[in-house]
Chains A and B, each alone.
Chain A
Amino acid sequence: MSDVERPQGLVLEGLQRRVGNTLVLDHLSLRVAPGECLALLGPSGCGKTTTLRLIAGLDQPSAGHIRLDGDDITRQPPSRREVGMVFQSYALYPHLTVERNLSLGMELRGLPRERIAAQISSVLELLQLEPQRRRRPAELSGGQRQRVALARALVRQPRLFLLDEPMSNLDAQLREDLRAELRLLLCGGPQPVVYVTHDQQEAMGLADRIAVLHQGRLQQIGSPRELYDQPANLFVAGFIGRPRINVLPAEAGCIRAVRPEHLEPLAEGGLPARVLLREWQGASQLLQLETPHGRWRMVCDGRVELAESFGLGWPPARELRFEAGSGRRLL
């Protein structure tokens, strides 16, 4: 068979999950190439964790197919899918030491003892967990636990990596450090990586492409840059980008929106604005403005001195336009 018929990587086709009368996931189709890192991004309840559980086989889809390197794995039990998953809670075995946490899966599959030991040692070294190898999870810090969970997914050399908000229990500094490390460890390898998060910074920093989900529906899939510059609809425009995009009231069936960093003070005229709050962040400053259209956010150079009130303007080319009813972006 040719490569067109047997696409490598992970393919979801019309994946659907219904719980009772609720459609938790509605016809999700996407593809993750080998070595690609895809982030599933969305607010809580959008179906991102559901998608991950379906791929892992922990839940069954109501309709649709999951293919891994051309094989249909939709009905395969989780044990045969060869996925490495990192749980939000880490799911480490509390009664086992770090090294036994890593070896258990390989023992179950009856790998030779020497090979298990060699594989564990190399992964522990890679994640700098060697000094902790005989500790139990309760004796580890949050960051160390997270690395053990990662190590457990890595050590079995899976065909696919799944990560469910792996950093949501860590503090901000640790998260930033681990983000780079994670990218080096996982992405760029031969396996596809699916990464679930509700943190857009994490998604933009880690992923090659981001799939934005909302209410069980795929809103848009693309590179971080595409999502930011050409959001498919008003939801994506509002969800991607911090501080949030400013939205004008609908006019003749069209909603216009402007990103905070594209606003500029005008010498005269423009949208009247009064400064409510100023957050000085060094290189930049964030202003909360009162305008006739409600509270707006503006970001500008940290050294600019602004009056208490001024007129707001923006280059028309920077403006995003959306259809009032559907929220779709107008070109």
Chain B
Amino acid sequence: MTLLLTLPALLLLALVFAVPLLRYGWLSFHADSVITGLQPLPNGGANWLRLIEDERFWQDTVQTLRFAGLSVALELLLGLALALLLHQSWRGRTALRTITLLPWALPTAVMALGWRWIFNDPYGPINGLLQVLGQPALPFLSSPASTWLVVVLADVWKTTPFVALLLLAGLQSIPTDLYEAFALEGGTPAQALRRITLPLLLPYAFLAVLFRLAQALGVFDLVQILTGGGPAGSTETLALYSYLSAMRFLDFGYSATVMLGMFVLLLGLTAVLLLGRRLLAGGRA
């Protein structure tokens, strides 16, 4: 009976997750490219051996981790500050709550185009401002050092509201009388933040980080539109590499292998995070 009732959900999961995963697993052990006439031919573990020796794959791994690490960290910090601000009662709070959510509501493709224009060299508004101030225009999107930071900035701008929203829900779940009891015991607001708010917010922050990391590590649309992975592949991510392997180089077997390689990395990272949380929870008991 239990099985029968969960069958629709299981079927859906099987169709959406299991089937593509198995198909990719199968494909990663085949050569399937223009050379084979787009016919899958078994090639043993050749794709996987190539992956391990592929410098581009490892460089993209580092770039993906760098992007995800920095943007999620910034989003967590800014999201916390924003949530604390939106939790206080002051005039205009409701208006700010609405405005805050706007970047998140915007489609990524639209906002990526917007940021590309903002940082355009030399016609974008930022360079316009620099020129008004008598400074030379800066090639924001054509130097590897600054381009990845622009990508981080755009991502932080868009998804900080999401983190803030999750943390705000967490803040609202903390009863006010805890703060009153704390104040009566001689605690200052700063101490209350450290001793009450942050510990009680931890489960929400963890959830936010998990959601955001999963998204940021698989980032595709933002990078594709904002930089196309450039300049010189300096902002290319694993998802973009997998996409290019299939759609530009028409090497479907290797594209599947890149995707699965990324999947394994993600699984490992999630396991580490979960373990870390368990250790943290154990340490508090």
- Interface residues of chain A, those whose CB is within 8 Å of chain B, are 56-58, 77-81, 83-85, 87, 89, 91, 93-95, 97, 104-105, 108-109, 136, 152, 156
Residue from A83, A91, A109 in contact with B178 in the complex, judged by beta carbons closer than 8 Å:
A91
Q: When chains A and B are docked, how far (Å) is the Cα of A94 from the Cα of B285? A: 12
Are B183 and A94 within 8 A (Cβ)?
no
Residues of A within 8 A of B184 (CB): 56-58, 78-79, 81, 83-85
Residues of B within 8 A of A91 (CB): 175, 177-178, 180-181
Are A79 and B175 within 8 A (Cβ)?
no
Are B177 and A94 within 8 A (Cβ)?
no
Q: How many A-B residue pairs have CB under 8 A?
A: 57
Whether a CB of chain A sits under 8 angstroms from the CB of B278 is: no
Residue from B180, B185, B191, B200 in contact with A87 in the complex, judged by beta carbons closer than 8 Å:
B180
* Top 8 A-B residue pairs of the complex, sorted by shortest distance between their CB atoms: A105-B185, A91-B181, A91-B177, A79-B186, A95-B199, A78-B183, A78-B184, A87-B177
Chain A interface, DSSP helix/strand/loop, else mixed? loop
Are A108 and B185 within 8 A (Cβ)?
yes
Q: When chains A and B are docked, how far (Å) is the Cα of A142 from the Cα of B95? A: 41
Number of interface residues of B (CB under 8 A): 19
Q: When chains A and B are docked, how far (Å) is the Cα of A109 from the Cα of B185? A: 9
Q: When chains A and B are docked, how far (Å) is the Cα of A80 from the Cα of B185? A: 9
Whether a CB of chain A sits under 8 angstroms from the CB of B50 is: no
Interface string of B194-237 (1 = CB under 8 A from A): 01100110000000000000000000000000000000000000
Residues of B within 8 A of A81 (CB): 184
Whether a CB of chain A sits under 8 angstroms from the CB of B188 is: yes
The distance from the CB of A149 to the nearest CB of chain B, in whole angstroms, is 9
Residue from A79, A95, A156 in contact with B187 in the complex, judged by beta carbons closer than 8 Å:
A79
Whether a CB of chain A sits under 8 angstroms from the CB of B284 is: yes
Residues of B within 8 A of A156 (CB): 185
Are B195 and A104 within 8 A (Cβ)?
yes
Q: When chains A and B are docked, how far (Å) is the Cα of A79 from the Cα of B182? A: 8
Q: When chains A and B are docked, how far (Å) is the Cα of A195 from the Cα of B185? A: 19
Listed A/B pairs (13) with beta-carbon separation below 8 Å: A79-B184, A79-B188, A81-B184, A87-B181, A89-B177, A91-B180, A93-B178, A95-B199, A95-B284, A104-B187, A105-B185, A108-B186, A136-B285
Residue of B nearest to A77 (CB): B183
